[in-house]
Amino acid sequence: AASANMKPIQVKLVLLGESAVGKSSIVLRFVNNEYQDNKEPTIGAAFLTQRCKLDDRIIKFEIWDTAGQERFHSLAPMYYRNAQAAVIVYDITKPASLEKAKTWVKELQRQANPNIVIALVGNKIDLANNRSVPYEEAEAYANENGLLFFEASAKTGTNIIEVFTELAKKIPYEQ
């Protein structure tokens, strides 16, 4: 195919969100199609890459998975400053994690690249029996703020690839 000879389009993507919402697990699912039940927390940040096909182009995601702990917050601008895409994660069983996600949205709207494409992701949808954030509430917030919105599960894989491919579709590429 023609795409095999084409240079991949690089997309810098950053993951943000409260500690333990499942950021590293989402990346592990997307990059390796794996899941681990008791993941060690990320210290500082981790860098991974993954390629995916979008129409006849190859997208190479350069993924910065940041630590959620407050003591690392001051490092975050290093990772989002040049990012073209952001995945802001909360846990559908933890309302406080949605509030934290909203503060990340505000920070990116003020300080990141104005063209950044942001997805809000409610993770752990496999725990829907313990849900305490209604789908409609988070979706309405996402719509008001121009964010893509998904509920997903790193554990089962539900909607994980979709988060990344839908972001890739929205990025304003230079031709």
First and final CA of the chain: distance in angstroms?
Answer: 20
Task: Determine which residue in the list 127, 131, 141, 145 makes contact with ligand GDP, applying CB under 6 A.
Answer: 127
153: contact with ligand GDP by CB under 6 A: yes
Residue 62, φ and ψ in degrees, nearest 5: -110, 105
* Token code pair at residue 60: 């190479």
Beta sheet of 57-66, edge-to-edge order: 45-54, 57-66, 9-17, 85-91, 117-123, 148-151
* 43-82 residues near ligand GDP, rule: CB under 6 A: 68
Cβ-proximal residue to ligand GDP, closest one: 22
Task: Determine which residue in the list 123, 142, 149, 164 makes contact with ligand GDP, applying CB under 6 A.
Answer: 123
17, 97 Cβ separation under 8 angstroms: yes
100: contact with ligand GDP by CB under 6 A: no
Query: Residue 11's beta-bridge partner residues?
Result: 61
Q: 51 burial class (0-12, 13-18, 19+ CB within 10 angstroms)?
A: exposed
Rounded distance, CA 108 to CA 89, Å? 14
How many residues interact with ligand GDP (rule CB under 6 A)? 21
Q: How far is the CB of 20 from ligand GDP (least distance, A)?
A: 4
25: contact with ligand GDP by CB under 6 A: yes
* Token code pair at residue 61: 């995601």
Q: How far is the CB of 116 from ligand GDP (least distance, A)?
A: 20
From 56-64, 105-113, 143-151, 152-160, give the range in contact with ligand GDP by CB under 6 A.
152-160
Q: How far is the CB of 160 from ligand GDP (least distance, A)?
A: 9
97: contact with ligand GDP by CB under 6 A: no
Contacts with ligand GDP, residue ranges (CB under 6 A): 17, 19-25, 37-39, 41-42, 68, 123-124, 126-127, 153-155
